[in-house]
Amino acid sequence: MDADWATSKQQHLLHLEDFCRGLGRALSRTGLTPAQVQAVWQSSVRAECVLCGIRVSGEELFALAQPPSALYLTFKLGRLRLGDCARHGCDSFYYRLIFQNYPRLNWPRLLAEAEAFQPEQPSPRQRRRFAFRLPALPDFGEYSGFARRGLVVLAAILFLLVARQWYRGGSLPLVRQPENFHVDPGPDMHPYQMGSLR
């Protein structure tokens, strides 16, 4: 870490958006003008994935702190809002937030305020649903990305097995087909003639 970047904090991705909102509120209470607050985000805040090392700028973190809108719609932000790493294919759960020294700012105090911030509404799960109009999936905590991929793969395999069975003319699993029995009547005799042979 550079000498100018004095403070760092590790943050779980599922709570990164709430933390950025809390940091935005804490910065707005410092007496800085909105332009100065935005300058702090641009020059003194950054984040990086602890696993793959992808960097997220302070401007992107500022956009993450804003309500979801078309103005801030990017691939990186979409993934971060879902609680995933900004790099597709990375399964990391944590980002390291790094804060550069800035005049009149006490980062430890601001970070404590941001950590104490509790969102009023909506919850992270509802925000994910709103951001991409997808039905909410069960929250599996740290394993959310892995669990989602597993459910998608399982559903795809099940669909392919059912389609293959139907295409080949077989019966569908768990669906009972009516049974049609054919009885072979035997020799060409009438049943009354059978009795006269005895």
Mean pLDDT of 46-53: 92
- Pick the more confident residue, 74 or 86: 86
Whether 21 and 111 map to the same domain: the answer is: yes
How confident is the model at residue 49, as a pLDDT?
93
Q: Using the predicted structure, report yes or no on whether residue 104 has a pLDDT greater than 70.
A: yes
Whether 99 and 116 map to the same domain: the answer is: yes
How confident is the model at residue 70, as a pLDDT?
64
When divided into structural domains, the chain yields a total of: 2
Q: Using the predicted structure, report yes or no on whether residue 178 has a pLDDT greater than 60.
A: yes
Crossing angle of helices 16-28 and 107-116, in 10° steps, is: 120
pLDDT averaged over the chain? 77
Whether 70 and 122 map to the same domain: the answer is: yes
Sorting pLDDT into bands at 50, 70 and 90, what band is 3?
very low
- Pick the more confident residue, 186 or 181: 181
Q: Name the β-bridge partners of 5.
A: 100
Whether 50 and 143 map to the same domain: the answer is: no
CA distance 116 to 13: 17
Rg, C-alpha atoms of the chain: 31
Whether 71 and 33 map to the same domain: the answer is: yes
Q: Name the β-bridge partners of 7.
A: 99
How confident is the model at residue 30, as a pLDDT?
87
- Pick the more confident residue, 196 or 79: 79
Whether 121 and 153 map to the same domain: the answer is: no
Whether 10 and 81 map to the same domain: the answer is: yes
- Residue pair 85/13 in contact by the 8 Å Cβ criterion: yes
Angle at the Cα of 159 from the Cα atoms of 156 and 161, rounded to 5 degrees: 110
The 3-state DSSP class for residue 198 equals coil
Whether 118 and 148 map to the same domain: the answer is: no
| E strand residue ranges, 4-140 | 5-12, 45-49, 55-57, 94-100
Reported residue count of the chain is 198
Whether 94 and 150 map to the same domain: the answer is: no
Domain that holds residue 120: 5-136
Q: Using the predicted structure, report yes or no on whether residue 141 has a pLDDT greater than 70.
A: no
Q: What is the pTM of this model?
A: 0.56
- Pick the more confident residue, 3 or 57: 57
Highest mean pLDDT among 3-7, 28-32, 43-47, 135-139: 43-47
